[in-house]
């Protein structure tokens, strides 16, 4: 089982316990009927949000594809919106509050960035470039790694999603051999 997924059953159990405890406490404070109405209202709001976000995500995805732009931003934003609607639609006060929090623009932008980073780590650089658009890379000269052999060079390749190459590299004097290391970091493109 994946590292992060092994805690899902425990998290679901704890969420259920907290939901029931909060429901009982709120029911005692404001009354059982009002608590049930509050949960139902949150669920109805979540269903409406699910429908709206689903349609919005589909339209923005189609617009991105038709205009030739990479659809990654629209997809990740749509996933966050659908997650917000799903959490609101689930009967519960904690999940409803989490879903409502995801509708706030600042929180949504932060979570969308996290979704994008996770997706970029799970796919190859080429797929990430096609899906999220080209990346700029900042390059700075560094020392060769002590464990790098002749064929482990990191010469940059041309193109927006340049990455390390395999095979022999050209050294500083133009001959074959290990070249000086080139360190880099991916710089997030500015939204247009």
Answer yes or no: are the C-beta atoms of 74 and 57 closer than 8 Å. yes
CA 132 – CA 48 distance, rounded (Å)? 29
Q: What is the mean pLDDT of residues 56-85?
A: 86
Q: Residue 184 forms beta bridges with which residues?
A: 139
Which pLDDT does position 125 carry in this prediction?
A: 72
Tell me the residue length of the chain. 192
Q: Is the pTM of this model over 0.85?
A: no
Q: In whole angstroms, give the CA distance from residue 155 to residue 24.
A: 62
Cβ 155 vs Cβ 182: under 8 Å: yes
- Residue with the bigger pLDDT between 159 and 123: it is 123
Contact 88, 96 (CB under 8 A): yes
**Residue among 117, 114, 115, 85 nearest 101 (CA):** 85
Q: How far apart are CA 149 and CA 177, in angstroms?
A: 9
Q: Among candidates 37, 4, 34, 19, which has minimal Cα distance to 87?
A: 19
Query: For 68-77, 93-102, 112-121, 149-158, which range has the lowest pLDDT when averaged over its residues?
Result: 149-158
The tens digit of pLDDT for each residue in 135-169 reads 665 666 666 556 655 544 444 444 444 444 444 44
d(CA 39, CA 34): 9
Q: Where are the domains of the chain?
A: 4-132
Q: Which residue has the tokens 């049930």?
A: 36
Tell me the C-alpha distance between 43 and 56, whole Å: 20
Block residue for tokens 């390390």: 164
Q: Is the pLDDT of residue 183 over 70?
A: no
> If residue 119 lies in a helix (H) or strand (E), which one and from where to where?
helix 105-122
């Amino acid at each position: 089982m994946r590292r992060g997924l092994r805690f899902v059953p425990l998290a679901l159990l704890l969420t259920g316990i907290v939901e029931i405890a909060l429901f009982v406490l709120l029911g005692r404070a404001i009354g059982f009927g009002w608590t049930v109405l509050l949960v139902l209202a949150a669920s109805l709001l979540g269903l409406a949000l699910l429908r709206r976000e689903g349609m919005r995500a589909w339209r923005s995805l189609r617009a991105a594809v038709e205009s030739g732009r990479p659809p990654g931003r629209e997809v990740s934003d749509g996933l966050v919106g659908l997650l917000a609607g799903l959490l609101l639609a689930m009967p519960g006060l904690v999940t409803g509050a989490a879903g409502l929090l995801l509708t706030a623009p600042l929180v949504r932008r932060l979570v969308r960035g996290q979704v994008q980073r996770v997706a970029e780590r799970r796919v190859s650089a080429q797929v990430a470039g096609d899906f999220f658009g080209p990346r700029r890379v900042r390059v700075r000269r560094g020392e060769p790694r002590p464990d790098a052999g002749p064929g482990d060079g990191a010469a940059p390749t041309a193109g927006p999603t340049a990455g390390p190459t395999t095979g022999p590299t050209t050294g500083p004097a133009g001959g074959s051999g290990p070249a000086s290391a080139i360190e880099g970091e991916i710089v997030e493109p500015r939204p247009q």
